[in-house]
Amino acid sequence: MENCVFCKIIAGEIPSSKVYEDEDMLVFRDINPQAKVHCLCVPKSHFATLAEMDEAQAELVKKCMIKIPEIASSLGLDGGYRLIVNQGKDAGQTVHHLHIHILGGQDMGEKML
């Protein structure tokens, strides 16, 4: 997708701090981390939100969710981690290519906001 920063990262046109990659997803460190460890798991198909997702894209998201525990373990997140998937304006979504935030490396407490 033209002008999508995550599509450009997937295509290698913009550099990223890559943590994991396979044919379905790319995981890289967030440029503006909100926790000691903050990565983004990005399916390699452009769609903005779950509401726009088709069946094939849902399969990619499923593969991301299956792979994330292994990635979290490789990042040393043995004490746990938080996943966030912002959807639209009120959630503060700024990049309109679905992505799963992986946050951890510290005690984030019980409050979500």
Q: Which residues, 82 to 111, sit near ligand AMP by CB under 6 A? A: 86, 92-95
Whichever of 39 and 78 has its CB closer to ligand AMP, that residue is: 39
In 11-86, alpha helices (H): 55-74
Number of residues that bind ligand AMP (CB under 6 A): 12
The conformation of residue 99, written as its DSSP 8-state character, comes to: -
Nearest distance, CB of residue 17 and ligand AMP, angstroms: 8
| Pair 39, 71: CB distance under 8 Å | yes
Q: Which residues, 8 to 67, sit near ligand AMP by CB under 6 A? A: 14, 16, 30-32, 40
Which residues have a catalytic role annotated?
Answer: 99
